[in-house]
Each structure stands twice: as structure tokens, then as C-alpha cells.
């Protein structure tokens, strides 16, 4: 397999990995990758030895969230490590079948902020446009597991014309985020049809796409796709990477093509137990992201999605990680740690407690080394000083 250590900064290809050498003829074809996804128990067991928990999880997966893993991403799995951070993200486990009392089908409250099916309007000036329910691979902690993959408890029924009409009428909307599912699964022509329709609405200032395609299926990021996207600037793309092993040579090249097309790239990670819940792994991840010209943007506390308790960490773990990054690496590498307020509160930022004390005279601060500093509140300039400065300016007098 040629696996390298989790924290190795090198960018490497893992192909052909679990596939025969002949597969390399079609390896760079995104359509071949999608057709050869691992989506059954037999396909899994033909390649790796599953634990009892994984096998049971696969048997139950069809009742909740389908399993599907592209060959590219599957090659990152360590066959000998049941705790492999890649395995934990995409291979179902028995624990998914248990719902903790605090968990929800719709943890972000999207359905209650949906004026039109498929369009979520929670924030004043921006909307989330759910354009598909399909992904190249399915993350086991998916916030929208209720609607994606075709086997959830709901079905995504986006009303396209009603959504466009809503956007045309609501002039306060200046920012549209395309998500789903994964919009970059669409053909270039279908995606361009959506982008051009949105760009024709005068008050929509910029567009965003949320996608894990560059990570799961870098073969999809073709020069032709990038040339098309370039026509719709300002356009931003948020990618989703959780572990440094995911940043392969192919992924780096795909992200480079997007960056060369002038598309600002940000990364959104989810804090996951046994995947990236350490300062060391997070530091390796954010450093590799910067080498790919991707700015670490958000680190999410895992949403309260049903069946996710085995993947969720404590909030204090996220704060510990931010504290371990702040001051110990460049500010460009530090994401904002956030919790999506359960039930629909939106993103709430969290930071370590750097403010020790605050009153009307000063703020007492702690830096990353634990040293204490005082920052005084602004001193009001005395009226006699204002008069003196006026006299000085007019040349009358200029004494102290």
C-alpha cells in the first residue's frame, strides 16, 4: 500500500493501492471512480478485514445512510488498523444504530428555516441552496444524513423555480452557498446553468460552493471545470478535509487547479474522536492545507446528528486544540472553532479564555504563553488640552 505516517508532510499518490495495476488506465477518469465505488459488504471484505463492529454497521447502513467510497479515498485506509482515521470517517460501525437522547434528525434546524423546499434562509443576507442529495462518498457523521444518499428518513425535493423566484424577490440576499449533497457531482453544463441563473440576479454579490469532491474525487476537478467556474467570480469554494492523510498528491494538484482559476479556497473540518482530536494531527492538517493554498476556515464541533456519539468529542477538546495552535503557528493556519447551535442557532464561535478580567478601566489579557498583559481603555483628552492644541495649530501659543 505504501502508506506513510499520519503526520508525514509529503504529498504522495496511493494508487493503485487495493486495485490492480491495470486499473491505472482509467484511474484518472472521474466516471470510472464513481462506477467503481465500494458500496457493499462483499466489496469491503474483498479488500480489508472488517471488525465485528464494522461488519454489523455495514449491514445496518442501508436503513439510515448509504455506504459509498471512491477508490481514490478507499486507498487511504490502513488495512491493518481498525482505528484508522480514514476508516472511521467512511466505514459504518455498529454504534451508528444507537441514538443518544441529545441527538437530532435535523441538528442545525434547517427544515424550520426553509421558506422554499431546498432553500435554507437562516442568516439575514445569505442562504443555503441544497441542490442535490448525492455525494461521491458518504461521511458517517453527515449533518444531512436524513436526506442524503437516498436511504434517509426524508427526501430532498428542491423546488428550483420557486427557489429562484424567492431569491429574485428577496433583495437582502447577497450570498448564496450551494451545497447538498455535493454540487460538484453535477456535470459542468448543469452546474453552469445554476451558477448563471444565480449570477443574473443583480443583488446576489457572490457565490459559494461547499464540496468534498476535491478530496473524495480529485479527478473531477478538470481544467474544463475550472475554466467554467472562473466565469462566475466572485466565487468561493469551501472544501472539507479532516485529516492530513487525505491531502494526497492528486488532491494537491486538484486544489491547485482551482486556486489557479482565482477561486479562494477555505477548509471546513469536523472535530472527530479518533480522527483529528489532537493538536499534533490538527497542526499537520492545517500546515498541509496552506501548502495547497487552502485557508483553514472552520473547525466544527460535531453536530448532534443521530448515531454520532462514538465520533463526538467534548467541547473542551476543541478549545484545547485551538489553544495548542494559537501562538505556536501562523495565524493563517488557525481555524475558527464553532458550534452550530443545536436546533437552528447558527454558527457560534468559541475561543480559549484569553480575557482574564475586564472593567471600565482596562482589560487584562493572557497570551499563548500564559503571560499577563493589561490593555487600558481609551483616555479622554482633557478639554484644556484640546484648547491648547487649537492655540498651537493657529499659532497663538504652543506651551505645555
pLDDT of 397 > 60? The answer is yes
Query: 142 among the known binding-site residues?
Result: yes
> Taking the model in full, what pTM does it have?
0.94
- Tell me which DSSP letter residue 98 carries: -
pLDDT of 1 reads 43
Domain 111-350: homologous superfamily in CATH: Aldolase class I (3.20.20.70)
Cα–Cα distance, 256 to 259 (Å, whole number) = 5
**pLDDT of 3:** 42
- Is 135 within any annotated ligand binding site? yes
**Cell reading at 200:** 443574473
Q: What is the mean pLDDT of residues 151-169?
A: 93
Cα 51 to Cα 111: distance, rounded to the nearest angstrom: 36
Rounded Cα gap, residues 275 and 83, in angstroms: 9
| 98-147 pLDDT, tens digit each | 999 999 999 999 999 999 999 999 999 999 999 999 999 999 999 999 99
Categorise residue 345: left if φ over 0, alpha if ψ from -120 to 50, beta otherwise: alpha
Residue 282 in this model has a pLDDT that exceeds 80: yes
Domain ranges of the chain: 21-94, 111-350, 354-400
Question: Which stretches of the chain are DSSP H helices?
Answer: 30-35, 41-45, 52-61, 71-74, 85-90, 160-169, 188-199, 213-216, 223-229, 249-260, 279-291, 315-325, 383-394
Q: How far does Cα 111 stand from its chain's mean position? A: 20
Q: Is the pLDDT of residue 363 over 90?
A: yes
Note the pLDDT tens digit of each residue in 26-57: 999 999 999 999 999 999 999 999 999 999 99
Would you say residue 399 has pLDDT above 70?
A: no
Percent of the chain with pLDDT over 90: 91
Cell numbers describing residue 103: 441527538
Per-residue pLDDT band at 153 (split at 50, 70, 90)? confident
Annotated catalytic residues are 122-123, 126, 135, 139, 142, 144, 303, 340, 347
139 is in an annotated binding site: yes
pLDDT digits (tens, 9 = 90+) for 178-195: 999 999 999 999 999 999
Amino acid at each position: 500500500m505504501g502508506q506513510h505516517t499520519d503526520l508525514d508532510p509529503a504529498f504522495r499518490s496511493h494508487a493503485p493501492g487495493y486495485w490492480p495495476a491495470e486499473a491505472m488506465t482509467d484511474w484518472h477518469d472521474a466516471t470510472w471512480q464513481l462506477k467503481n465505488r465500494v458500496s457493499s459488504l462483499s466489496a469491503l471484505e474483498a479488500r480489508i478485514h472488517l471488525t465485528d463492529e464494522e461488519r454489523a454497521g455495514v449491514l445496518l447502513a442501508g436503513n439510515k445512510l448509504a455506504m459509498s467510497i471512491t477508490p481514490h479515498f478507499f486507498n487511504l485506509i490502513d488495512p491493518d488498523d481498525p482505528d484508522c482515521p480514514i476508516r472511521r470517517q467512511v466505514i459504518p460501525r455498529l454504534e451508528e444504530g444507537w441514538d443518544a437522547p441529545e441527538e437530532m434528525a435535523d441538528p442545525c434546524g434547517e427544515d424550520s428555516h426553509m421558506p422554499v423546499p431546498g432553500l435554507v434562509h437562516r442568516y439575514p443576507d445569505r442562504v443555503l441552496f441544497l441542490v442535490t442529495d448525492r455525494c461521491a462518498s458518504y461521511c458517517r457523521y453527515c449533518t444531512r444524513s436524513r436526506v442524503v444518499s437516498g436511504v434517509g428518513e426524508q427526501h430532498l425535493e428542491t423546488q428550483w423555480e420557486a427557489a429562484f423566484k424567492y431569491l429574485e424577490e428577496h433583495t437582502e440576499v447577497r450570498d448564496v452557498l450551494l451545497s447538498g449533497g455535493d454540487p460538484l457531482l453535477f456535470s459542468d453544463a448543469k452546474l453552469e446553468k445554476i451558477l448563471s441563473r444565480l449570477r443574473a440576479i443583480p443583488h446576489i454579490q457572490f457565490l459559494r460552493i461547499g464540496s468534498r469532491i476535491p478530496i473524495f474525487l480529485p479527478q473531477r476537478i478538470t481544467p474544463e471545470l475550472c475554466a467554467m467556474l472562473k466565469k462566475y467570480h466572485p466565487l468561493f469554494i469551501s472544501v472539507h478535509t479532516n485529516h492530513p492523510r487525505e491531502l494526497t498528491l492528486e488532491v494537491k494538484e486538484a486544489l491547485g487547479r482551482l486556486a489557479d482559476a482565482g477561486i479562494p479556497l477555505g477548509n471546513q473540518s469536523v472535530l472527530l474522536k479518533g480522527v483529528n482530536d489532537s493538536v499534533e494531527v490538527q497542526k499537520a492538517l492545517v500546515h498541509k492545507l496552506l501548502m495547497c493554498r487552502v485557508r483553514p476556515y472552520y473547525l466544527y464541533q460535531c453536530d448532534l446528528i443521530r448515531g454520532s456519539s462514538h465520533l463526538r468529542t467534548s467541547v473542551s477538546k476543541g478549545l484545547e486544540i485551538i489553544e495548542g495552535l494559537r501562538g505556536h503557528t501562523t495565524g493563517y493556519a488557525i481555524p475558527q472553532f464553532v458550534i452550530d447551535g443545536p436546533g437552528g442557532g447558527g454558527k457560534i464561535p468559541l475561543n480559549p479564555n484569553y480575557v482574564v478580567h475586564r472593567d471600565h478601566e482596562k482589560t487584562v489579557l493572557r497570551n499563548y504563553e500564559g503571560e499577563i498583559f493589561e490593555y487600558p481603555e481609551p483616555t479622554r483628552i482633557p478639554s484644556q488640552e484640546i484648547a491648547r492644541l487649537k492655540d498651537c495649530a493657529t499659532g497663538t501659543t504652543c506651551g505645555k
